[in-house]
Amino acid sequence: QSLADVDARVSVCRACPRLVDWRESVAVGKRKAFLGEPYWGRPVPSLGDEQPRVLVVGLAPAAHGGNRTGRMFTGDRSGDWIHAALYRAGYAARPTSVSAGDGQRLRGVRMVAPVHCAPPDNKPTPAERAACGPWLDRELQLADSVESILVLGGIGWQSLHAAALRVGWSVPRPRAKFGHGAQTVFTVPGNGVSDGPGAVSAGRPREVRVVGCYHVSQQNTFTGRLTEQMLDEVIALL
């Protein structure tokens, strides 16, 4: 199975009745500014490079952002912030991500989510997070090129730790507390295959650096809790 297979399968998932209702009802009762546009109204697949060095873990698509455009962190203010920061760091072709077909392309980065459907009030329930967990697990299992993970927000931090443990990665104990600039290191077990002395191989255990960042939500960016400089500083750690 490839990451493209995962993207195709997640985009037709209907496992969470409340979120299926919400994502589809938002797509019918559109926001005034987007009345003339079709809404995606389905689970939003991950976005970016299929051999990423860096994963970005968010929370869930926004009702009129990813749920409208069908592309993660695309078409809303949160997306404006993270795409601009990735562009400044050389990870994105453009400083904006407006809609599919706008030419945006991520280089070496893949954006993933603990929850792939837009939730009411941006708050998935614990049961919904649990239901969507296997999709994140699959991302980690296929992420053999990943060296660093940027986690936006405390829920993403918890979800990533849970997924890492489920797929058999080693997570430090006690678990590192989430915070802006928090760092921890996960160990991905090897597969027992030796490529000889000094060889670098996917068969050997490897370390993945995990960096926390306040979420790029308007709640944080409008209030100055998260500034562009703070975002650039944590991206520089990846």
Contact residues: ligand SF4, CB under 6 A = 10, 13-16, 19-20, 43, 115-117, 128, 131-132
Work out how close the CB of 93 gets to ligand SF4 at its nearest, in angstroms, rounded to a whole number: 27
Nearer to ligand SF4 by C-beta: 14 or 177?
Answer: 14
Closest distance of CB 131 from ligand SF4, Å: 4
Q: How far is the CB of 6 from ligand SF4 (least distance, A)?
A: 11
Cβ-contact 166, 195 below 8 angstroms: no
Q: By C-beta, is 78 or 159 nearer to ligand SF4?
A: 159
Q: What does the alpha-carbon distance between residue 189 and residue 194 come to, in Å, rounded to a whole number?
A: 13
Residue pair 145/54 in contact by the 8 Å Cβ criterion? no
- Considering the complex, state which of residue 18 and residue 94 has its C-beta at the smaller distance from ligand SF4: 18
Nearer to ligand SF4, 43 or 156 (CB): 43
Q: How many CB atoms lie within 10 A of CB 9?
A: 14
Q: Cβ 7 to ligand SF4, closest distance in Å?
A: 11
Residue 121 zone, left/alpha/beta (φ > 0; ψ -120 to 50; rest):
left
Query: Smaller CB distance to ligand SF4: residue 43 or 212?
Result: 43
Residue 234 CB, nearest approach to ligand SF4 (Å): 27
Helix axes 126-142, 154-166, angle to 10 degrees: 60
Which distant-in-sequence residues (6+ apart) come within 8 Å of 126 by Cβ?
Answer: none
56, 79 in Cβ contact below 8 A? no
